[in-house]
Amino acid sequence: MKTVLNVFGFPPPRLGGSESHAREISRQLGIHGWKSVLSFLSPPSEEVRKFLDLPNVIIEVLEGVHNTAWRPAVGLATLLRKHRPAILHLNYTGFLSVYPWLAKMYQVEKVFFTDQTSRPANFVAVPRPLRTRVITRFLNAPLTKVVCVSEYGRRCLTGLDVLPPSRFQTIYNSVDVNRADEGQKNGTLFRRRHSIPDGRRIVAQLSWMIPEKGIEDLIDSAKLLLAKDANVHFVLVGDGPCKNEFMRKAVDLGVANHATFAGMMHDPMGEGVYAATDVVCQLSRWEEAFGFTIAEAMASRRPVVATRVGGIPELVEDGKTGYLVERGDRTAVVSRLLELLNNPALRRQMGCGGRTVAETRFELRKNTGQLLKLYGVQ
């Protein structure tokens, strides 16, 4: 039985897009008689472990693999020696590392890297200095392909001129539309769990609590919007180093009674956050590589208001599945939110449009099938 070793440079505490990807790729590999080894930064939570429990799956832990250091390199060598994979796929591990050469040393047939990099605001891709390009091409010489999760990401990497353009291929991140449907019954439970008053329409953003995600812009927009319509509630899902700072800002601006900081959720779709929400926001300031929560919102038939940055315009079609606004334009955010909140028919129309796009371009089984085709798994 041949083996694919997927190395993920993140801990798996919840059921998110990457965990769904790990399960689906394992499922499809199993159909073709392949073994799937999934390695994470730390042991999965019990819920995630059960979710990933398939007959062909082996779960490993490789600490620190997201950093370039001696210890994780030794750890990866141990996994390569133990499992002898035919294919190694690196996820969230950093573009510059010795890992591709380790794979070559252990006679791995194909090596892939998925680039999920979000870039700084107003990033412009220009060729790197010659020395950097030479080092990058040497370190990544054993790579079979670099998978980009959006055309924006592919343009960035080709613009940097760090590898030949033929080494890059776009396969969008994806979402399990069936799980999105299953979560629709839990919207009322979500409201009750977080004591959100009946009748208030909900605007939600699900993201890491850092400035680059535009949380401050959402809170500022909340103050402006509530001055026009007090029957709205803002839900912010996620954790991160700036969460307490954002909570204080909500208090200082007088919007705390209309805001719920829900913290990290183990299964946002399953726990009903999208089902309870009327409009989903993603007001990122930096250049997003993709936008998992946007895809999840679209699969859940919810319109999106998002910034026109990075790969987001590849997900949200302005005026059809939601609205795009310029980075930091709070006035436009408020205007678009009010337009959607006051027009249920428009919300339904855009939500249905988003679902169609999710099924067509971001569907989990279809996009995972593209990846197996890239692997050459028959």
What tens digit of pLDDT does each residue of 296-329 get? 999 999 999 999 999 999 999 999 999 999 999 9
Read off the pLDDT of residues 260-289 as tens digits, 9 standing for 90 and up.
999 998 889 999 999 999 999 999 999 999
- 191-203 per-position pLDDT tens digit: 999 999 999 999 9
Q: Is the pLDDT of residue 13 over 90?
A: no
DSSP run (H or E) holding 86: none
Arithmetic mean of pLDDT over the chain: 96
Q: In whole angstroms, give the CA distance from residue 322 to residue 337.
A: 10
pLDDT tens digits, 128-163:
999 999 999 999 999 999 999 999 999 999 999 999
Distance in angstroms (rounded) separating the CA atoms of residues 26 and 34: 8
Domain pair 3-174+363-375 / 177-361, same fold: yes
Note the pLDDT tens digit of each residue in 158-192: 999 999 999 999 999 999 999 899 888 999 999 99
Question: What is the CB neighbour count within 10 angstroms for residue 71?
Answer: 12
- Residue carrying structure tokens 């989903």: 280
Reported as a single tens digit per residue, the pLDDT across 228-264 is 999 999 999 999 999 999 999 999 999 999 999 999 9
Sheet with 201-206, strands from edge to edge, namely 259-263, 232-237, 201-206, 279-282, 304-307, 322-325
Provide the whole-model pTM.
Answer: 0.94
What span, in angstroms and rounded, lies between the C-alpha atoms of 43 and 63?
10
Q: What is the rounded (10 degree) CA torsion for 346, 347, 350, 356?
A: -130
Name which CATH class applies to 3-174+363-375: alpha beta
Four-residue CA torsion sign, 54, 58, 64, 66? negative
Partners of 7 in the β-ladder: 39, 90
**Which residues make beta-bridge pairs with 306?**
282, 324
**Which CATH fold topology does 177-361 show?**
Rossmann fold (3.40.50)
Neighbours of 164 (CB within 10 A): 9
DSSP3 helix / strand / coil % (the chain, rounded to 5): 45, 20, 40
pLDDT of 31: 97
The yes-or-no verdict on residue 62 having pLDDT over 80 is yes
Q: Where are the domains of the chain?
A: 3-174+363-375, 177-361
16-29: per-residue pLDDT in tens? 889 999 999 999 99
Degrees, nearest 5: CA angle 94-215-341: 125
Q: Per-residue pLDDT tens for 312-371?
A: 999 999 999 999 999 999 999 999 999 999 999 999 999 999 999 999 999 999 999 999
Who contacts 218 (Cβ-Cβ below 8 Å, separation ≥6)? 205, 234, 236, 281, 283, 333
How far from chain centre, in Å, is Cα 105? Answer: 32
Evaluate if residue 105 carries a pLDDT over 90: yes
Among 208, 211, 181, 201, which residue's Cα sits nearest to residue 121? 211
Position 266 scores a pLDDT of 86
With pLDDT > 90 as the criterion, what percentage of the chain qualifies? 92
